[in-house]
Amino acid sequence: MRDAQPRTVYLKDYRKPDYLVDSTRLRFELEPNSTVVTSSLEIRRNPAAGEGLPPLRLDGVNLELVSVGIDGVALGVDEYTCHDEGLIIPVHRGAFTLEICNRIDPEGNTSLEGLYLSNGMYCTQCEAEGFRKITYYPDRPDVMSKFTTTIVAPRDYPVLLSNGNEIARGEIEGDRHFVTWEDPFAKPAYLFALVAGRLEKVEDQFTTMSGRKVTLQIFTEPKNIGKCEHAMHSLKAAMRWDEEVYGREYDLDIFMIVAVDHFNMGAMENKGLNIFNSACVLASPETATDAAFQRIESIVAHEYFHNWSGNRVTCRDWFQLSLKEGFTVFRDAEFSADMNSRAVKRIEDVSMLRTTQFAEDAGPMSHPVRPDSYMEISNFYTLTVYEKGAEVVRMIHTLLGEEGFRRGSDLYFERHDGCAVTCEDFVAAMEDANGVDLKQFRRWYSQAGTPLLEISDDYDSAGERYTLSVRQSCPATPGQPEKKPFHIPLKLGLLAGDGSELALDTDGTRETVLEITEAEQAFVFEGIPERPLPSLLRGFSAPVRVRYDYTPAQLRLLMRADSDAFNRWDAGQRLAFRALAQLQQDFRAGVELQLQPELMEAYRSILQQEDLDPALVAEMLTLPSAQTLAEEAEVIDAEAIIAARNFAEQNLAEALFEDLLETFRRLDHDKPYRPLADDIAERRLKNTALAYLCVTEKEEALQLADTQFASATNMTDSAAALAALVNRGDDQRAQAALQSFYERWKEDDQVVELWLAVQSSSPKRGSLEAVRALMAHPAFELTNPNRVRSVIGAFSNRNFLQFHQPDGSGFRFLAEQVIALDKLNPQIAARLVTPITRWKKYCQGQQEMMHAALQSVMDSGQLSADLYEVVSKSLK
Ligand code: PHE
Ligand code: ZN
Domains and CATH numbers, the chain: 1-198 (2.60.40.1730), 313-445 (1.10.390.10), 452-549 (2.60.40.1840)
For residue 388, the 8-state DSSP code is I
Distance from C-alpha of 658 to C-alpha of 243, rounded to nearest angstrom? 49
Q: What percent of the chain has pLDDT over 70?
A: 100
pLDDT of residue 610: 80
268 CA to middle of ligand 2, Å? Answer: 7
pLDDT of residue 453: 99
Nearest CA to ligand 1 atom 5: 268
pLDDT of residue 609: 84
Q: Report yes or no: 227 and 220 within 8 Å, Cβ to Cβ.
A: yes
268 CA to middle of ligand 1, Å? Answer: 5
Tell me the three state secondary structure of residue 724: helix
pLDDT of residue 3: 56
873 CA to middle of ligand 2, Å? Answer: 26
Query: Global pTM?
Result: 0.99
Q: What is the pLDDT of residues 74-85, one digit of tens each?
A: 999 999 999 999
**CA-closest candidate to residue 533, choices 553, 515, 513, 514:** 553
Catalytic annotation present for 303? yes
For the chain, what percentages of helix, strand and coil (3-state, to nearest 5) are there?
A: 45, 20, 35
- Where residue 611 falls among pLDDT bands split at 50, 70, 90? confident
The average pLDDT across 198-223 equals 98
pLDDT of residue 657: 98
Among all ligands shown, which has an atom nearest to the Cα of 827? 1
Among all ligands shown, which has an atom nearest to the Cα of 309? 2
What are the φ/ψ torsions at residue 193 (nearest 5 degrees)? Answer: -150, 155
ipTM exceeds 0.95: yes
The atom number, within ligand 1, closest to the CA of 130 reads 11
Does residue 2 carry a pLDDT above 60? no
Q: Is 303 in the pocket of ligand 1 (CB under 6 A)?
A: yes
Q: What is the pLDDT of residues 165-183, one digit of tens each?
A: 999 999 999 999 999 999 9
Q: Is 269 in the pocket of ligand 1 (CB under 6 A)?
A: yes
Greater confidence (735 vs 598) lies with: 735
The average pLDDT across 736-758 equals 98
- Where residue 670 falls among pLDDT bands split at 50, 70, 90? confident
Q: Is 265 in the pocket of ligand 1 (CB under 6 A)?
A: yes
Q: What percent of the chain has pLDDT over 90?
A: 98
Phi-psi region of 105 (alpha: psi -120 to 50; beta: other; left: phi over 0): beta
Q: What is the pLDDT of residues 688-701, one digit of tens each?
A: 999 999 999 999 99
Q: Report yes or no: 722 and 741 within 8 Å, Cβ to Cβ.
A: yes
The average pLDDT across 215-228 equals 98
pLDDT of residue 842: 98
386 CA to middle of ligand 2, Å? Answer: 8
The average pLDDT across 321-332 equals 99
Q: Is 412 in the pocket of ligand 1 (CB under 6 A)?
A: no
328 CA to middle of ligand 2, Å? Answer: 6
Q: Is 315 in the pocket of ligand 1 (CB under 6 A)?
A: no
Tell me the three state secondary structure of residue 728: coil
Q: Is 125 in the pocket of ligand 1 (CB under 6 A)?
A: yes
pLDDT of residue 4: 67
Residue 201 exposure: Cα atoms within 13 Å on the Cβ side: 16
Please report, as a single letter, which amino acid is at residue 875.
L
End-to-end distance of the chain based on CA atoms, in angstroms? Answer: 22
Q: Is 381 in the pocket of ligand 1 (CB under 6 A)?
A: yes
Write out the H or E segment, with its range, that includes residue 737.
Answer: helix 731-745
Of 99, 113, 127, 303, the catalytic one is: 303
The atom number, within ligand 1, closest to the CA of 264 reads 10
183 CA to middle of ligand 2, Å? Answer: 21
Q: Of 113, 257, 265, 831, which is best to mutate to test ligand 1, by the most ligand atoms within 8 angstroms of its C-beta?
A: 265
Q: What is the pLDDT of residues 791-824, one digit of tens each?
A: 999 999 999 999 999 999 999 999 999 999 999 9
Does residue 735 carry a pLDDT above 70? yes
Does residue 376 carry a pLDDT above 90? yes
pLDDT of residue 51: 96
Does residue 438 carry a pLDDT above 70? yes
Q: Which residues contact 831 (CB under 8 A, 6 or more apart)?
A: none
Does residue 1 carry a pLDDT above 80? no
Q: What is the mean pLDDT of the chain?
A: 98
Q: Which residues contact 203 (CB under 8 A, 6 or more apart)?
A: 215, 216, 217
Please report, as a single letter, which amino acid is at residue 286.
E
Please report, as a single letter, which amino acid is at residue 702.
L
381 CA to middle of ligand 1, Å? Answer: 8
Q: Is 302 in the pocket of ligand 1 (CB under 6 A)?
A: yes
Q: Is 325 in the pocket of ligand 1 (CB under 6 A)?
A: yes
The atom number, within ligand 1, closest to the CA of 302 reads 12
The average pLDDT across 719-742 equals 98
Q: Of 125, 127, 786, which is best to mutate to test ligand 1, by the most ligand atoms within 8 angstroms of its C-beta?
A: 127
- Where residue 671 falls among pLDDT bands split at 50, 70, 90? confident
- Where residue 5 falls among pLDDT bands split at 50, 70, 90? confident
